[in-house]
Chains A and B, each alone.
Chain A
Amino acid sequence: MSTIVIDTCAGEEQGREALAAAAIASLDLDVQMVVVGDEDEITSILDGLAHDAERLRVVHAADPLPDNVDPRDIREAAPHSSIAVGLELTARDPDAIFVSAGQPAAIVSLALQTLGRLPGVDRAALAAVYPTLRHRGPNDDPFALLLDVGATIECTSEHLLRFAAMGAAYASKISSVDRPRVGLLANGSSPATAPERVREAHRSLSGRDLPFEYIGLLRGDQVTHGEADVIVTDGFSGDVLVRTLEGVAATADALIQRAEARFKWRLGVQMLGGGIAKLREFTDWENYGGAPLLGLDRPVIVTQANSGVRAFVNAIRLGAKMQRLGVIAAVAEAVATSAAALSEEEES
């Protein structure tokens, strides 16, 4: 049985939503919940929530995260913060998964200091899913994977190669795609205009026998078409891209609401009601849980700071699924296989 360690000091309503999700998971999912946060507060909130106390353990950790501290120094500055304590618990239990809506930089930094890295991985990647037009795999999954979206801001071509292997292994397990299609994010389909690290990564990946299918360089507008199952980029560009996609979806939603406010347009919007609801469902990030941090020996899932109950429950489900399908072992194997394939080709 998976153990889900959940940080209840972050998320909507000061972590209340995370706690509500933990309560729901304790009732509905076959998982062991460990909720980390202010025990006194957690107990008083739990009193009003239907939950299964047999499947829920509370661990006290009430140090607030200090402001204006370098993420690398948080461990020393706040050793009893919910993120630090939660990751310590995760490190001690091989079946544990950590879920948090805390500051991504703090989570990434503390996770790298507390958890083990997979062999051959020196940088972790935060992988976000985004909706695409093309569906994939036997489950008809309507989303593709984008990594890195903020864990490693400065990347070398080596890092991009590792990210490609990790992302492909993750997509292959989660969406059951045999040979995921992997692309590198660039500003055109020709490598000539791409930055050096992207050109090098493209050269290394092209024409190689790898556990995934490399489809080349992809422009930003090709991302949402779904041509690739996995898009690889550095943390800076990935973060900008994923937030742009979220911003576009939020703006579209705001425009629909504005249209509803006009009397003449209201009828038309009403007639399109079913389609609009589907569109909202499709672009609603809460449906996709959170972003897994790949490259570590335990699953870590980072959810958005304004995550509600649904986002947390989906993140918990995702974590349990990762554990059940052995995603971490698959990622480790893919990194090793890809590294061997790339070095063999280079030697020959």
Chain B
Amino acid sequence: MSDWIGSGHLLHLRWDLDKTYLRTDFDSVKDLIKTYRQKAEDKVAIVGARSLMQALLDPHERRKRRVTFISGSPTQMRAVLTRKLRLDGIEPDLFILKPNLSNILSGRIRSIRGQVGYKLSALMRSYVAATDLDELLFGDDAEQDAFIYSLYADILAGRVDAVQLASILGACKLYRAEVDEVMALHGRLFGSGDAVRRIFIHLEARSPLDRFAPYGARVVPVYNYLQAALVLHQGEVLRARDIVSVIEAMSVAGYTPARLANSVQDLVRRGVVAVADVERLAGELAAVETTRGRTVSTFIQRLRSTVADLQHVRRKSPEWLTEINYLGLYHSARFRRTRHRFFGIPLLD
């Protein structure tokens, strides 16, 4: 096993749903209504997400894996979302949805849109206390997943103490009841162990990469799930044939070998994956490829030419950070949103 997923450890997979696993549009009220009324059969998973999930939940490994979905969708959508996951062959161990109706009834209007209080407490409540535990978290750039997931990881690692957390929650304008709940959970989980291995952020909004640099190497922004699969392959969580499954799923959805190879090049240029690892992967894929179609062999060719293109690249891997300025990050994100709302300055500038 790899240096970052321990042998025999329980691997807890935490997934956000909308824009991370499911292709969802809720940028307007019309989109929200459409999403709410959609049947399970009409909901579409993001290309490659289903194959990646199925590879991670390989029946041989299933007893050592645990899946929790934490979604901002209202609890009223549980039946349709559960059915959608079942159609995709995914049975989550825990499925947490947002109690929006009770937020409305109790007058907690900020909680309807806010994510920090809800997701942080959901992550902490669903923490599995095991001696040998690793966690992989999957979110997106549409909301504050990188911020919330990193904060959770640092609470477990004992790097964010109660005083720091209280000031962060205060800045996030959480309701008193939410603060009390998170602080109580912090008391129980603080310093439980540095269990979060990677946080994958699906770049649904194509946010600039440097927005995630302050979180360090633990946060890996990905343009698609082939990139996530490659990082997991490098960490020896997935095998070459799992990569092939993801490639095939993406190819069926219209991804060309060139587009897939560009994704690999991007990881190499960012220093997330080394050229030597890509060379090794090309060899492993070639061994699997005999039983597969043309897509994989064309991809291998592209992969090799990508490697040839990048022979000169000696990029340092991103650094692991032990100190993250959460308050600063929260305020800069808030400043960007305010600027966008009042002055129309694009969020992606």
A residues with CB within 8 A of B: 1, 27, 32, 39, 43, 46-60
A39 with B208, Cβ < 8 A, contacts A54-B262, A55-B259, A55-B262 known: no
Q: Which of A39, A51, A55 contacts B312 (CB 8 A)?
A: A39
Q: In the complex, are the beta carbons of A48 and B208 less than 8 A apart? A: yes
Say yes or no for B333: interface residue by CB 8 A criterion.
no
Residues on A with beta carbons closer than 8 Å to the beta carbon of B349? 50
Known interface pairs A39-B312, A54-B223. Does A47 touch B262 (Cβ–Cβ under 8 Å)? no
Nearest 6 CB-CB pairings of A with B = A50-B348, A53-B266, A47-B210, A43-B269, A47-B209, A54-B259
Partner of B208, one of A1, A50, A57: A50
The interface size of chain B toward A, counting residues with CB under 8 Å, comes to 27
Q: Report yes or no: A57 in contact with B223, Cβ–Cβ below 8 A.
A: no
Q: Which residues of A contact B223 (CB under 8 A)?
A: 52-54
Contact of B263 with A by CB under 8 A: yes
Can you list 20 A-B pairs, Cβ within 8 angstroms, ordered by A? A1-B256, A32-B258, A32-B259, A39-B269, A39-B310, A43-B269, A48-B209, A52-B206, A53-B266, A54-B223, A54-B259, A54-B260, A54-B266, A55-B259, A55-B262, A58-B265, A59-B309, A60-B309, A60-B310, A60-B312
How long is the Cα–Cα vector from A88 to B12 in the complex, in angstroms?
49
Tell me the minimal C-beta distance from B223 to chain A in angstroms: 5
Q: A52-B223, A54-B263, A58-B265 are contacts. A47–B208 as well, Cβ < 8 Å?
A: yes
Q: How far is the CA of A39 from the CA of B275 in the complex (A)?
A: 15
- Write the nearest CB–CB distance from A105 to chain B, whole angstroms: 29
Q: Mark B212-253, 1 if CB is under 8 A from A, else 0.
A: 010000000001100000000000000000000000000000
Count A-B contacts at CB 8 Å.
59
**Chain B residues with CB below 8 A from A53, complex form:** 223, 262-263, 265-266
Please measure, in the bound complex, the distance between the C-alpha atom of A59 and the C-alpha atom of B310, giving whole angstroms.
Answer: 8
A12 and B258 alpha carbons, distance in the complex (Å): 29
SS class of chain A's interface: helix, strand, loop or mixed?
A: mixed
Contacts of B336 in A (CB 8 A): none
User: Which residues of chain B from 254 to 299 have a CB within 8 Å of any chain A CB?
Assistant: 255-256, 258-263, 265-266, 269-270
CA distance A52 to B208 in the complex (A): 10
The answer on a CB contact under 8 Å between B312 and A43 is no
Residues of chain B contacted by A55 (CB below 8 angstroms): 259, 262
Contact indicator B262/A39 (Cβ below 8 Å) = no
Q: How far is B258's CA from A43's CA once the two chains are assembled, in angstroms?
A: 19
Residues of B within 8 A of A58 (CB): 265, 269, 309
Q: Which residues of the partner chain A approach B207 to less than 8 Å between Cβ atoms?
A: 50
User: Given A51-B206, A54-B259, are A39 and B313 also a contact pair (CB < 8 Å)?
Assistant: yes
The closest CB in chain A to the CB of B226 belongs to: A54
Beyond A50-B348, A60-B310, 20 extra complex contacts between A and B, CB < 8 Å: A1-B256, A39-B269, A46-B209, A47-B213, A49-B208, A50-B206, A50-B207, A50-B208, A50-B349, A52-B223, A53-B223, A53-B263, A53-B265, A53-B266, A54-B223, A54-B255, A54-B263, A57-B261, A60-B309, A60-B312
With A39-B312, A50-B348, A52-B223 as contacts: A57 and B210 at CB distance below 8 Å: no
Task: Give the shortest distance, in Å, between B146 (CB) and chain A (any CB).
Answer: 15
Closest to A93 in B: B258
CB distance from A41 to the nearest CB of B (A): 12
Given the complex, which residues of A lie within 8 Å of B270, measured CB to CB? Answer: 43, 47
Given A47-B209, A48-B210, do A54 and B224 touch, yes or no (CB 8 Å)?
Answer: yes
Which chain A residues border B263 with CB–CB below 8 Å?
53-54
Least CB distance from B63 to A in Å reads 35
Task: Kindly list chain A residues whose C-beta atoms are within 8 Å of the C-beta of B310.
Answer: 39, 60
Q: How far is the CB of B188 from chain A (nearest CB, A)?
A: 38
In the bound complex, how far is the Cα of B250 from the Cα of A54, in angstroms? 12
Rounded to whole angstroms, the CA-CA distance of A49 and B210 in the bound complex is 8
Residues of A near B261 (CB, < 8 A) are: 57
Give bound CA distance, A46 to B255, whole Å. Answer: 22
Instruction: Give the residue among A46, A49, A50 with the most B Cβ atoms within 10 A.
Output: A50
Least distance between A1 CB and chain B CB atoms (Å): 8
**Nearest neighbor of B309 in chain A, beta-carbon distance:** A59
In the assembled complex, how far is the CB of residue B249 from the closest CB belonging to chain A, in whole angstroms?
A: 15
